[in-house]
Amino acid sequence: MNIVLCVTGSIAATESIKLARELKRQNFNVKCFMSQSATEIIHPNSMEFATGEEVVLDLTGKIEHVKYAKEDLILIAPATANTISKFAHKIADNPINSLLITAQGHNTPILFVPSMHDSMYKAIEENIEKIKSEEINFVEPRLDEGKAKFPNIQDIILESKRAINLNNEYDEGIARIANKKVLITLGGTYEAIDQIRGITNKSSGKMGLELAKEAYIRGAELKIIAANNNVEIPSIFDTTFVESSEEMNKITKELISDYDIFIATAAVSDFAPIAKYDSKISSSFNLSLEFKPTEKIIKQIKEINPNIFLVGFKAEYDISDEKMVESAKNQIKEAGTDLVVANDVSVKDCGFGSDNNQIILVDDDFVEIPICSKKEISKIIFDKISTEL
């Protein structure tokens, strides 16, 4: 895929070098346009190094603003108040704004990443809204220390992939997920014993996060319910944080009727203490605790929303593949899941918190997926879901 990265005269131009390198790492071809003011902050040689391509500084007889206007995405990062405001009023007095206007005429996706002082950001709000009304997207800045700062680079990458995919009507695996409402639970719930101690599990949230990223870049309307986890959830994701299985189940039941797809990756506690102590339990004497089974929310999903596509996860320990498939089939029978992702956490390098997994996808049939990254597994799962919708 090909991206044109336009760098304008914000101090955040220093971040564009890292952004370009990350885009290259993720297999994008990157061509850079720089404004005159941007070259006063970073040297064009820096962007040529980062992209491996000659930087466009002026329009020549090669008509660069036309030549690059039909790429997969035009990304303006950072985008200054000047560049945004000129584009809002279709002023083409420099190479970047000429490119933007030409690209818009070809319906090429355009993505702005504003970076400036917060007073300037507020002052151009009307111009930003005008551009948004033309179905052009923005990555919201980090508002901090009186500045609209450059966002997290991974957020920009996610938004870039999403913008490209939403413009790709020919890939059915993307088109069938785009604009669908997807709810994902992730992490492990925590059941309090007293005000300090509790029981939980080893779920890291990594699989759930990779699925969330895949849903988002395919254009889904994403919602996450996150329990205890060890991952950094992008700020651009709509996330509700919970602690206990009771909280997770309550939020899930409140939301589920509005969603098309529910992926239950969270490791929800099977048991919770019957009594919760209001203070710290003394460690000076023996202690016995009594537990009760928690509510099995997955068994209620189809009762609340019969039309939802329900994906369940089934983690087992040191059992045969045949028994794992049997366990998954039981979940399908009891909960009405449309697809179950089964795995054995005793497999080397496939336990909780690992970056890889080895799974079996189970529905009416089953498919064994050898060890691969959770990122690759998320793609496989969504490819499977897209064929069933």
Q: What is the pLDDT of residue 202?
A: 92
324, two tokens: 């794992």
Q: How far apart are CA 212 and CA 382, in angstroms?
A: 10
Q: In what order do the strands lie in the sheet with 356-362?
A: 239-241, 221-226, 181-186, 261-264, 309-316, 339-344, 356-362, 366-373
pLDDT, residue 325, reads 96
pLDDT at 287: 86
Residues of the chain below pLDDT 70: none
Could you report the per-residue pLDDT of 21-49, keeping only the tens digit for each? 999 999 999 999 999 999 999 999 999 99
Alpha carbon distance 16, 42 (integer Å): 9
Between CA 203 and CA 14 the distance in angstroms is: 37
Residue 81 in contact with residue 111, Cβ under 8 Å?
no
Domains 2-166 and 172-279+287-388 share a fold: yes
Token pair, residue 311, equals 């994906």
Map out the domains of the chain as residue ranges.
2-166, 172-279+287-388
Report which DSSP code applies to 90.
T
Rounded CA-CA distance 262/387 in Å is 16
**Could you tell me the sign of the dihedral formed by the alpha carbons of 241, 174, 169, 258, in that order?**
negative
Quick one: which of 229, 222, 265, 251 has its CA closest to 381?
A: 265
Distance, CA of 52 to CA of 243 (rounded, Å): 47
Is residue 11 classed as helix, strand or coil in its secondary structure? coil
Could you give the maximum distance between any two Cα atoms of the chain, in Å? Answer: 86
Residue 115: the pLDDT is 95
CATH of range 172-279+287-388; options 3.40.50.720, 3.40.50.10300, 3.30.460.80, 3.40.50.1980: 3.40.50.10300
pTM beyond cutoff 0.85: yes
* CATH (residue range 2-166): 3.40.50.1950
Q: What is the pLDDT of residue 145?
A: 86
Distance of CA 272 to the CA centre of its chain: 31
